[in-house]
Structure 1
Amino acid sequence: MRRQPVTSSVIASVGYDAGTAVLEIEFTSGDVYRCFAVPPSVHRGLVDAASPGAYFNRTISDRYPTRQLYD
């Protein structure tokens, strides 16, 4: 999945597949996670957030099924 960089001290890049509703997040630590059944509005909110890390914690973390890809 192609990811785009975001300005954040915690999140390096974000990708989204609208066809499968999968959100992929690469953290600055190098960890990459896929979140499933994520609406397009949540992806847009993450990319547009003034603080993507805070948005992730408030809106995404522990709310969608997630799988770590690699670290």
Structure 2
Amino acid sequence: MMMVRSSFVEEAIKALYAVSALIQNNFPGQQMFYAEAGDLMIQDILTNSSIDIRLWRKAVFLVGDLAE
């Protein structure tokens, strides 16, 4: 989760992709995600207008997966 906040865009994108893959259809993983304030991390990404569009897009897909 810490790598998602990386100042290197490529590293942050890959880290968010990995987090998304780990928690997709994995209830214990989703519980850990929320316990580590993952929802706030996603909120920070989505409200930051200077974030790279690729990272923003991955965050939107993650929100969609969590909503299912």
TM-score normalized with structure 1 length? 0.29
Higher relative helix content: 2
Higher relative strand content: 1
TM-score normalized with structure 2 length? 0.30
